[in-house]
Amino acid sequence: MNEQTPNDAVRRKVFSPARLGSLNLRNRVIKTATYEGMSPGGVPSDALIRHHRELAAGGVGMTTVAYCAVSPNGRTFEAQMYMRDAILPKLRALTEAVHTEGAAVSIQLGHCGYFSRNTTLPRRCSLGPSFRLNEYGLMSGVPFTRAMTEADIAQVIDEFGTAAAMAVSAGFDALELHLGHGYLLSQFLCPATNRRRDMWGGSLENRMRLPLTVLRRVRERVGAGFPILCKTNLRDGFRGGLELDESVKIAQALEREGVDAIVLSGGFTSRTPFYLFRGARPIKEMIEVEHNPFQKLSLRFFGNRIIREYPFKEMFFLEDARAVRRAVRVPLVLLGGVLSVDNLETAMREGFDFVAMGRALIADPDLINRMQQGEATRSRCISCNKCVAEMDRNGVRCVL
Ligand SMILES: Cc1cc2nc3c(=O)[nH]c(=O)nc-3n(C[C@H](O)[C@H](O)[C@H](O)COP(=O)(O)O)c2cc1C
């Protein structure tokens, strides 16, 4: 008799097809967005296409092209990719390459808000919910952030809609809106960075207004059936930032708006960057790849103090993510320190619909095929985080 153990059933679930909105994925593993550093001059390169093709060939259900700004002003730095007609042919080549390997492909759309070193910004001033010193751009000549006007807000909402429509025309199967990690929409959600007293700030309802309006606009532009994921923070990771009680309510609001899945993450890049990934801080390597002499100096002298360390633990967002799981029925993507078949199975047992992996797949792009064939049970990633520095050297890669 062919008896099926519960483990077999759970493992089969990970590696069987699943629906994400109207999209059929060949399995439940998503390569999460990890900035590739492969778009010189903001134009997707052949290396970027090869990178995602390799991930697709390695077995993931869906890969995600990382941070694409919705407009020139939404770039963290000048050489970053932003959505425009000129890059559509390259993006089409990328989506076709991924499809040839049998995977789906999503693109992460975001706006950096105040978190910018982009010196082409008008008056070298970044945009944010409220006026502030821009600690991230201070040394790069973008020292201040001005509070967005109604016209700025309307423009950003339009930019998200237009960028989303362009992504669909480039052949992407899904979109991921970046509501986390301290980028613009996360800055509006965060009580510490949104000090507005109008309808865009104050109560949680008001702080959610911009992200939800963006989601609605994107929905209008891409149509009812098109899969939209939102990447959100469980916690920002600092006092005064977003905490779990509010992030649960945000997930409930996104569910009411009809989002297709929520990717649960955390951390605020300008304040708690290593809350996002946990593990070692590759300060020496970060100094090596830093071009700005002032940033280099400040990293050398204050790096260990500015960049707080968070110990790595497998599935480090699981505990917080459970609270969201209990509160919503919308598909949830568990992320953060997922390294092994055991971790994938735990995610399924805990009721998550998909699992996202970043560093494990940078280290082993073919991990999912090998896990499925029983040739591997875990990634060789050791959370050294040197891939974080590599993205600014010659493109993201594992140094092992
Ligand atoms: C090199 C690198 C680049 C990243 N770039 C992005 C990014 O562009 N957008 C994003 O939402 N998260 C980014 N992240 C965070 C990852 O998406 C993910 O949230 C984090 O690495 C935790 O997942 P993991 O433990 O599976 O790596 C990046 C992480 C790494 C290591």
Tell whether 397 is covered by a domain. no
Atom index in ligand 1 nearest the CA of residue 178 equals 11
Give the pLDDT score at 2: 44
User: Which one of 76, 112, 276, 383 would you pick to mutate in the ligand 1 pocket, going by the greatest count of ligand atoms within 8 A of its CB?
Assistant: 276
What are the CA-CA distances from residue 284 to residues 193, 299, 366, 398 (Å)?
Answer: 30, 9, 29, 16
Is 66 near ligand 1, meaning CB less than 6 Å away?
yes
Atom index in ligand 1 nearest the CA of residue 381 equals 27
- In terms of residues, how long is the chain? 400
Give the pLDDT score at 123: 92
Give the pLDDT score at 119: 93
How far does the centroid of ligand 1 lie from the alpha carbon of residue 32, in Å?
Answer: 7
Tell whether 400 is covered by a domain. no
Tell whether 11 is covered by a domain. yes
Tell whether 1 is covered by a domain. no
Q: Which domain holds residue 11?
A: 6-390
Q: Quote the radius of gyration of the chain (alpha carbons, Å).
A: 20
DSSP, res 137: T
Give the pLDDT score at 8: 86
Collect all residues with Cβ–Cβ distance below 8 Å to 373 and sequence separation of at least 6.
none
Is 222 near ligand 1, meaning CB less than 6 Å away?
no
- Outline where DSSP puts E strands in 252-368: 261-265, 332-334, 354-357
The answer to whether residue 183 is catalytic is: yes
User: Which one of 277, 361, 394, 400 would you pick to mutate in the ligand 1 pocket, going by the greatest count of ligand atoms within 8 A of its CB?
Assistant: 277
User: pTM for the whole thing?
Assistant: 0.97
pLDDT in tens, 232-279: 999 999 999 999 999 999 999 999 999 999 999 999 999 999 999 999
Nearest CA to ligand 1 atom 3: 34
Tell whether 355 is covered by a domain. yes
Give the pLDDT score at 294: 82
Tell whether 259 is covered by a domain. yes
pLDDT in tens, 345-364: 999 999 999 999 999 999 99
Q: How many DSSP H helices and E strands does the chain contain?
A: 15, 13
Check if the beta carbon of residue 317 is closer than 8 Å to that of residue 334: yes
Atom index in ligand 1 nearest the CA of residue 385 equals 31
Tell whether 297 is covered by a domain. yes
Kindly write down the DSSP assignment for every residue of 18-86, as one continuous string: EEETTEEESSSEEEPP------GGG---HHHHHHHHHHHHTT-SEEEEEEEESSGGG-SSTTS-B--GG
Tell whether 323 is covered by a domain. yes
Rounded Cα–Cα distance for residues 177 and 193 (Å): 19
Q: What CATH number is attached to the domain comprising 239?
A: 3.20.20.70
How far does the centroid of ligand 1 lie from the alpha carbon of residue 333, in Å?
Answer: 14
Can you list the residues of the chain whose pLDDT is less than 50?
1-3
Is 338 near ligand 1, meaning CB less than 6 Å away?
yes
Give the pLDDT score at 1: 39
Looking at the 3D structure of the chain, how many domains does it have? 1
